[in-house]
Amino acid sequence: MVGMQGKPQFRNPKNWRLRASVLLEPFGRGGPAILIDTSPDLREQALRYFPKKPRLDAILLTHTHADHLHGLDDIRPFNFFQKHALPLYAEPQFLEEVKVKFSYIFRGYYEGGGIPQLELCGVRDRPFRLEACSEPRLKQLEVIPLPVQHGKSSVLGFRVGKIAYVTDCSYIPETTIKKMLGLEVLILDCLRPKPHTTHLHIEQALEYAHRIGARKTVFTHMSWEIEYEAFKKSLPRGMIPAHDGLRLKIET
């Protein structure tokens, strides 16, 4: 771990980061929950940070890169305890990639251990409701897809109420910026100090954060090149770096 000034920073636990993901609980802690991305660290994240009586009602998938998808098998305990399939919402092309990368889930028979029970739900660039959810309150919740560029690829962020989650992006179109006006919280990609071909670097992330103007902006998907305390001290009021286990309460 190297600090913003080039000094080693190993001791601060906020510099040791699991892969990016977020759990939304629109009706309060312990209520119906929406997970954005199933990172390879999902099991550890759930054991550390989910409520004492964990539940999961829907999954939103930004894209199918390994660091955002490859924990998908670890939704099985939620299937076992809740006794129903979980809806997975993503663009149709990403759902097809899920079928390839996790082909065993979709075969007619799989011996031993069980498989994740999923209901695949395709979404387009327009608002949608979580109608495949078994939780009635979530069926009425509107989700707004936020198309962004991740290098040469098009991926999604999501807005739910007054919070937006946009990770893995290098460019945000003007039409998407307009969809994020009036936010309480923006969670935004910020990989490192220097420019990168597929992610926002610090200067770009700050520029977008100012343009979008959320009441609070949280920077995520940070690499080892960003030292937590130094970055935090450098940020203007209303902007903070994320850390594992961060909880935010948002007034709706």
Does the pTM surpass 0.85? The reply is yes
Check residue 9 and give its pLDDT. Answer: 61
Spans of the chain below 70 pLDDT: 1-10, 109-113, 252
Check residue 53 and give its pLDDT. Answer: 81
The first and second tokens of residue 5, run together, are 């000034």
Check residue 4 and give its pLDDT. Answer: 47
Check residue 96 and give its pLDDT. Answer: 97
CA angle 41-46-49, nearest 5°?
A: 110
Check residue 31 and give its pLDDT. Answer: 87
For 106, phi then psi, to 5°, come to -105, 5
86 near 58, Cβ under 8 Å?
yes
68 near 37, Cβ under 8 Å?
yes
Residue 231, SS3 per DSSP: helix
Terminal C-alpha separation, the chain:
37
Check residue 175 and give its pLDDT. Answer: 98
